Amino acid sequence: MSYYLLGPEVAGELGDDTVMDASAHPPTVSRLQYVVQDWLGDEILESTPCFIVTDHLAGLIEGAGLTGYRLAEADVVLGEDAEELAGGPIDLPKFQWLQLPGRAGSDDFGASANGSLVVSERALDVLRQGALNNCDIAPA
């Protein structure tokens, strides 16, 4: 099976309410707040070392029986300049935290040694059912 390295859209940053242990590499996060600043519409977003997916994409992932991931609650909020950068109101969908306990190259979802997202061809096919217009995709 083929595997791919994904570089999702970075639409914001970790917020002040994020709880992270930076002594580990990659850092471990126990509570995630993602502050959206400049969202271009993709359904999977990144702010190292975390990934979030829309509820729509989360449902597709769960329905496909993929392995190596866990979905958890994420506090996703608009940054104070987000609507100004977008030129108007933003209708932000609900997002979930895509956690990666799986092994890259074995499971459908996993993290590389530096924390990058690695997905199987099966998982990529599912992710492509959502908006991935600003996601870099390369063979792993």
**Is the confidence at residue 15, as pLDDT, over 90?**
yes
Q: How confident is the model at residue 25 (pLDDT cuts 50, 70, 90)?
A: confident
pTM: 0.94
The pLDDT assigned to 85 comes to 81
What average pLDDT does the chain have?
95
For residues 22-47, average pLDDT: 93
124 vs 99: CA distance, rounded Å: 16
At 27, give phi and psi (nearest 5°).
-60, 150
For residues 117-131, average pLDDT: 97
For residues 99-110, average pLDDT: 96
